[in-house]
Chain A
Amino acid sequence: MAENQVPLTAVKVEALVVMKIIKHCTQTFPTTATGSIVGMDVDGTLEITNSFPFPVVEMPADSHFDGAAPNPAAAAPRAKANVAYQAEMVRMLREVNVDANNVGWYTSANMGSFVNMNVIENQFFYQKEMNEQTVALVHDVSRSAQGSLSLRAFRLSPKFMAAFRENKFTTEELQKSNLKYQDIFVELPVEIHNSHLITNFIHQLQTPTQSAPTDLPSSLAALEAGSLAKSTVLSPNFDNLTLSIDPFLEKNCDLLLDSIETHQTETNNFQYYQRSLAREQGKITAWQTKRKAENASRAALKQPLLPEDEWQRLFKLPQEPSRLESMLNSRQVEQYAHQVDSFVSSTTGKMFAVKGNLLPGETAK
Chain B
Amino acid sequence: MAETDSFLHLARPLGQVAVGAAPSTAPLNVVIQPQALFSILDHSLRRNADQERVIGTLLGTRSEDGTEVEIRSTFAVGHTETTDQVEVDMEYQKQMLALHLKANPKEVLVGWYATSSELNTFSALIQNFYSGQGDGTWPHPAVHLTVSTDAGKDIETRAYISAPVGVTAERAADSAAFIPVPHEVRYGEAEKSGLEAIANAKEVENRSTTIFTDIEALERAIEEVIGMIDRVSRYVESVIDEEAPASTAMGQFLLNTLALAPKVEPADIERDFNNHIQDVLVVSYLANTIRTQMELSTRLATAQLTLGGGEVAVEVSNAPRSVLLLKKPVLRQRGKQSTKK
Interface residues of chain A, those whose CB is within 8 Å of chain B, are 12, 14-16, 18-20, 22-23, 26, 35, 49-50, 52-56, 58, 85, 88-89, 92, 95-98, 141, 144-145, 147-151, 171, 174-175, 180-181, 189-206, 208-209, 216-220, 222-224, 229, 233-241, 245, 249, 252-253, 256, 259-260, 263-264, 267, 270-271, 273-274, 277, 323, 326-327, 329-330, 333-334, 336-337, 340-351, 353-355, 358-359, 362
11 more A-B residue pairs beyond the given contacts A22-B194, A201-B41, A342-B213, with a C-beta to C-beta distance below 8 A: A18-B198, A56-B103, A58-B105, A92-B95, A148-B216, A192-B208, A192-B209, A198-B198, A220-B252, A267-B317, A341-B288
Contacts of A259 in B (CB 8 A): 290
Contacts of B224 in A (CB 8 A): 235-236, 238
How many angstroms from the CA of A253 to the CA of B282 in the assembled complex?
11
Does B199 sit at the interface, judged by CB under 8 A?
Answer: yes
* Chain A contact surface mostly: helix
How many angstroms from the CA of A136 to the CA of B213 in the assembled complex?
19
Nearest CB in chain B: distance from A295 CB, A: 27
Jot down 10 A-B pairs with beta carbons below 8 A, ordered by A.
A15-B38, A96-B75, A148-B214, A198-B198, A200-B155, A337-B290, A342-B215, A344-B280, A346-B215, A359-B269
The answer to whether residues A148 and B290 also contact, given A98-B46, A192-B208, A344-B284 and a CB cut-off of 8 A, is no
Contacts of A200 in B (CB 8 A): 154-155
The answer to whether residues A355 and B269 also contact, given A174-B302, A236-B217 and a CB cut-off of 8 A, is yes
Q: Are B253 and A171 in contact (CB under 8 A)?
A: no
Which residue, B4, B207, B297, has most C-beta atoms of chain A within 10 A? B207
Q: Are A237 and B78 in contact (CB under 8 A)?
A: no
Q: Are A97 and B288 in contact (CB under 8 A)?
A: no
The answer to whether residues A236 and B273 also contact, given A92-B92, A334-B294 and a CB cut-off of 8 A, is no
A197 nearest in chain B by CB position: B41
Contacts of B45 in A (CB 8 A): 195-197
Contacts of B225 in A (CB 8 A): 238, 241
The answer to whether residues A218 and B291 also contact, given A95-B78, A355-B273 and a CB cut-off of 8 A, is no
Contacts of B89 in A (CB 8 A): 95
B residues 204-237 near A (Cβ < 8 Å) are 207-218, 220-222, 224-225
Interface residues of chain B, those whose CB is within 8 Å of chain A, are 1, 3-4, 33-35, 37-39, 41-48, 72-73, 75-78, 89, 92, 95-96, 99, 102-105, 149, 154-155, 187-202, 207-218, 220-222, 224-225, 245, 247, 249-250, 252-253, 256, 262, 264, 266, 269-270, 273, 276-277, 280-281, 283-284, 286-288, 290-291, 294-295, 297-298, 301-304, 309-311, 313-314, 317-318, 320-321
Contact of B266 among A26, A92, A217, A359 (CB under 8 A): A359
A240 nearest in chain B by CB position: B221
How many angstroms from the CA of A102 to the CA of B66 in the assembled complex?
38
Nearest CB in chain A: distance from B328 CB, A: 14
Contact of A237 among B47, B104, B193, B209 (CB under 8 A): B193
Nearest CB in chain A: distance from B89 CB, A: 8
Contacts of B314 in A (CB 8 A): 267, 270-271, 274
Contacts of A180 in B (CB 8 A): 298, 302
